Structures are given as structure tokens and as C-alpha cells.
Amino acid sequence: MGKLRTLPAEDGFRMPGEFERHDGCIMIWPKRPGSWNYGAVKAREAFRSVALAIAESETVYMLAAPDVMENAHRMFFSAEHGASGAARTGRPDIRLIPMESDDAWARDVGPTFVVNENGEVRGIDWEFNAWGGTVDGLYAHWEKDDRVAEQVCRELGYPCYEAHPFVLEGGAIHSDGEGTVLVTEACLLSEGRNPMLSKEEIELRLKQYLGAEKIIWLKHGIYQDETNEHVDNVCAFARPGEVLLAWTDHKEDPQYAYSDGCLKTLEQETDARGRKFVVHKLPIPSRPICVTKEDLGGYEFEDGEDVREAGERLAASYVNFYLSNGGVIVPQFGDEADQKAVEILGRVFPERRIYPIAARDILLGGGNIHCITQQIPAGRNRQEE
């Protein structure tokens, strides 16, 4: 089946909110030695914890390259590691799918899904260039990653829109499901993505593909976020008209100016339905989370790949949570702010169970819990019809 060449908005499709009910979640089993130190051993434990928490209320589709498929199967289904959710419940809530990729950032390389009023679900295949291509991309080869979205749609039976050569990642957009999409200027206007397009032209593309009526442009994301400051690390919808914003009260921290700028924009703006935003401040860790010399010894970097340095500040943020159907999977960094983040998210999402997950080993790879997960909205796909 070929790709769709029409525009989703014209076909009656929209990007849903992440708080809406969905059918499942896509993840990718980690292996890249330049992202996951010491053979990805600790990273895989963290990914496993995230997947099992999500699998309690929805199916997890775990993509794994052939050379790590056996490891993934053992981690989820062997007696050595304990039974997975599938064994507990008798339903296939973790499904392993063989698929090559360059790294494990499912949010950014997987398809962005859109839905219509009839419950149909379709995917969008953006161009992926490792967060900046030859300008400031994080690795030199990303061909396998760029094929993931189309392959996922084919594997799971979803029609797929062709959006190449427009460069975009899933973490760069956040929707309220009712026509409002959050983005950051630092990311979408970066030189390594779509330099031939103006801000107005980029906004038009987002409206055409996401069914958006209004784009809210925040200036910055999280300080030193190597994705050029994805919005999903700094601000996320809890529900229409209500957002969570990464925050610090320490004015000497560079993040203060970034977050304060976001807050001012949100206070001045309304959403696509004319509502003023309710903003919940979610603290960043009380101290910077940094790469240590011990961490650095476990990486193997390829030529052209962005390298880590001892003392490098990582873009830690509790806003980078994942909403499963039944819970909130919340990153934890061994910081005193961990519990405060859990408490705030518990108040914002009283109907959901909170799953605190140790996520420093995911952060060391360059991202967080939201970055390694991509939702599949509830609806019908062509295989089921």
C-alpha cells in the first residue's frame, strides 16, 4: 500500500491529546553504544520498567533489531526476569516486533498519529534527520530511523501520510486534541530542520498535517536540551486549557529565564477555543543532573556522533512523563524534587495511578520517558476493517 499524498486536515483528521484514550504505545529496545553506556544494561532495565508500567493498561509494541530480539524476549518473558504483564493478565500487552532503527527514540522517529470523527487512525511519516542533520544532528547516519514511521504503519496496518521533506519529530509538538498545538521556536526554527521555510510556512504545515487551528510558539524549552529544546520536555497538556510547565524559582539557573518566558507567553495567549491557560508549575530537579566520569567510560561513539563530556548538564525534566490509559509514568532522578513532582502530578491527574520510574539511565541516553514512547490513538485500522 502506497503512502497518502493528501493533507490530513483536509481529509478530516486531527492530532489527538495524549490524555485521550488510546490503543497502545510504541517503544524501541535500546542498543546504540553512543547513547546507552556499558552495553545498555541499565538502560534496558529502565526501559523494561517503563514498558511494564504502561502495559498494565494498554498494549506496548516493542520494536527490536534482530541482534537484540533475544535479549528483549528474555527481559520480558523469561523466568529469570519474572513474568511480564502478558503472563499475568493472559493478554498480549507486550508485543515484540523485529525492526531495525539507529536508536531508541520512538517518540521522534515513530509516526505521529491522527484521527477523525469516525474513529479512523492514520500515521504521518515526517522526515527525520537526527535533530539537525549536517548542521547540528546528533549522529551522522539516521537512515534506519527515518524508515521507522512508514514500517510501523505498514506492520500495524495504518494508512500513512507522506510528509517528507518536512523535518519534524514527535517530541517537537504537543496537542490538546481541540485544535491547539504547542511548539518551541528554538526547535522548529533551528537551522538544521527546515531552513528554507519561514515561521509562517512552518505553522501552515503544522495546521495542514495536524488539523491544528492555533499554534502556540514558546521561545525556549529545557536548557541544554540537545534536541534544540523539544516542547515535550518543557510544557505539556494535562487536558484542554490546562498545561504543566517545567519551573524553577532559582533565578540564577539559566532555566529560570527559559521557563519564565514560556509562562509569560502562556499568560498572554488563549487556546484555539478562546480559553485562558491554567498553568501548573512542575519543578525541575533541585540540582543539575550531570554526566559523571564513570558514566563517560561506558560509551562507544561513532565518527560524526555527538559525544558526551564529564560534567555535562543533562536536560532533566518531570514534564517528560507518559500518560497511559491508567497511569502517569513519571521520571525520577534521585533528587529531592522527585517526590514533589509525584505529588503535583497526582493532584493534576487524580483519576490515574502514578508510576515513579528511575530514569537517570534513560536521561544519560539523551532523553526521558516521553521521548522513548509514542502513543497509538484508540480507533480502527485497516487490518481490523
Residues assigned a catalytic role: 371
Nearest Cα to Cα of residue 322 among 226, 216, 233: 233
Nearest Cα to Cα of residue 259 among 175, 312, 305, 318: 318
The β-bridge partners of 282 are 246
CA 116 to chain CA centroid, Å, is 22
**245 SS3 class:** strand
| Cα–Cα distance measured from residue 107 to residue 149, given in angstroms and rounded to the nearest whole number | 10
Residues 6+ apart with CB under 8 A from 369: 50, 320, 321, 322, 329, 330, 331, 357, 359, 362
Phi and psi angles of residue 364, each rounded to the nearest 5 degrees, phi first: -60, -25
| Cα–Cα distance measured from residue 335 to residue 165, given in angstroms and rounded to the nearest whole number | 41
- Helix axes 66-77 and 41-54, enclosed angle (nearest 10): 60
Q: How deeply is 251 buried, as exposed, middle or buried, from its count of CB atoms within 10 A (0-12, 13-18, 19+)?
A: exposed
Q: How deeply is 339 buried, as exposed, middle or buried, from its count of CB atoms within 10 A (0-12, 13-18, 19+)?
A: exposed
